Homo-oligomer: A and B are copies of this chain.
Amino acid sequence: MLVVTLCALTAADAYAQAIPDSVRQNAMLLRDKALQDSTAYDIVESLTMEVGPRLAGSAGDAATVRWAIELLTSLGFEHVRGEEVEVPHWDRGALSVSITGPFLQSLVATSLGGSSGTPEEGIEASVLRVESLAELREKSLGEVAGHIVYIDHVMERRKTGGGYSASSRIRSCGHVVAAERGALATVIRSAGTSTNRIPHTGSMLRNSVPGEIPGVALSNADADLLTYQARSGEPVTIRLHSTARNMPKALSANVIGEIPGVGDKADEIVLLGAHLDSWDLGTGAIDDGAGIAIIAAAAKLILDSGQPPRRTIRVVLYANEEFGLSGAKQYASKHADKIEKHVVGMEADFGAGAVWQFSSRVAESSLDIVDELHGLLEPMSIERGNNEAYGGADLSPLRKAGMPILGMTQDGTNYFDYHHTAADTLDKIDRDDLQQNVAAYVTAAYVAANIDRDFGWLPKDTKPSGTCAAEDD
């Protein structure tokens, strides 16, 4: 049971407090309990050890849907269900990449998600090295046609993970820009910071491609091998062989569980999101086993408090975030008539590093709530960020519709050493950091679900996304 603090409100409180004392007190109790609670670790351990890789459409994906329904049921949530989602299904197959001249080297590489394979005899061609999409866009068909394009951009390491946007843009669109100019294949330096000769995968955008060409990523160390030879001045040739292929679409599911609200606000929803799928190279511990664990453990603490929230807390474990946001789109479409009932969304999809900043995307008139909420997070070394929170990829359809967002910014300094690589495994998760995340999420979720006021609603964002046009670089 939560301790409900009964105290007379002073005049000052009545004016100043967006979060009533009772809510504040309970939130602090939940926060402090979360810091000692190993539920999240147990969840991500079970998922990574017993299920492991779970690429959309794969057998692991189907196993994860079953695992997730069992998890949310066993934790005691209500209305646990899988909402069917059609997902693309891509198979990595086998890949070999080698430099065939001037100096023979076998390269450690991985196919990018959605890549087609090569012809059976492989592709061997000379390499055209560029350092950016902009440099590639300046090349003519005559310069590119018949070559394998090598995009050699070194990702920058940052606490915010901000270096990833330029690198992932190259991964998403490099093959499009190259194919438009007649290239035979694209080879990129991994969109990651690892120095451990483990390449980084991730999705290629499939729209507006004039012809499908294979796309692969080299580990940073292997990119160094290729760059050295490319800089030698001699012509460099590469040989690629890949059996990657796109398969027929498959069925997966968004797995959902709830703590139903009680009272006049019961039809309003506080959404906690993470995603079920992972890339196939690792066991998906930091992406996004940790996210599932954080939000499920946070909701479980509220459930166990024995006092139902006023608003419904909905845990949504999305299908196929990695390869096209299938689950996020399906959720927004299926729940279109109730989108404005989502008073706020929080997503956990940036690993298990400690939260160091709390940002928001709420109506100006609700900023006082966020500031007070920040006061409850500050003792955990969490700074107040701005009011331009991104929230996460799976929330983007709802965010674009105007749903407010609360964002827990995690330390991403080392995230891209492991993200989307074989090394995304359980040992990368620090228990204390994970528990600090749960504490931050439970505090915010509890407050959001129990205060009188809400976070407003924001203007629609109608900017198109998902194109490889130069103006969107």
Interface residues of A (CB under 8 A from B): 45, 49-53, 103-106, 108, 194-198, 220-221, 224-225, 228-229, 282-283, 421-423, 425-428
- Which residues of B are found within 8 Å of A49, using beta-carbon distances? 103, 105, 224-225, 228-229
Number of copies: 2
Question: 17 interchain pairs (CB within 8 A)?
Answer: A49-B225, A49-B229, A51-B103, A52-B103, A52-B104, A52-B225, A195-B427, A197-B421, A197-B425, A221-B423, A221-B425, A221-B426, A221-B427, A224-B425, A224-B426, A224-B427, A225-B425
Q: How far is the CB of A353 from chain B (nearest CB, A)?
A: 15
Q: How far is the CB of A104 from chain B (nearest CB, A)?
A: 8
Q: How far is the CB of A439 from chain B (nearest CB, A)?
A: 26
Beyond A49-B103, A49-B225, is A197–B428 a contact (Cβ under 8 Å)? Answer: no
Q: How far is the CB of A65 from chain B (nearest CB, A)?
A: 16
- Which residues of B are found within 8 Å of A52, using beta-carbon distances? 103-106, 225
Q: Which 9 A-B pairs have the closest CB atoms?
A: A196-B196, A221-B425, A49-B228, A197-B422, A197-B423, A50-B103, A196-B423, A52-B105, A195-B427
- Which residues of B are found within 8 Å of A224, using beta-carbon distances? 49, 425-427
Select which of B51, B108, B229, B282 is within 8 A of A197 by beta carbon.
Answer: B282
**Cα separation A103 to B426 with both chains bound (whole Å):** 16
- Known pairs A52-B103, A220-B427 / 12 extra A-B pairs, C-beta < 8 Å: A49-B225, A49-B229, A52-B106, A52-B225, A105-B283, A194-B196, A195-B423, A195-B428, A197-B282, A198-B198, A221-B423, A225-B425
- Which residues of B are found within 8 Å of A103, using beta-carbon distances? 49-52
**Cα separation A444 to B453 with both chains bound (whole Å):** 76
**Cα separation A108 to B423 with both chains bound (whole Å):** 10
**Cα separation A426 to B229 with both chains bound (whole Å):** 14
The closest CB in chain B to the CB of A196 belongs to B196
Q: How far is the CB of A440 from chain B (nearest CB, A)?
A: 26
- Which residues of B are found within 8 Å of A428, using beta-carbon distances? 195
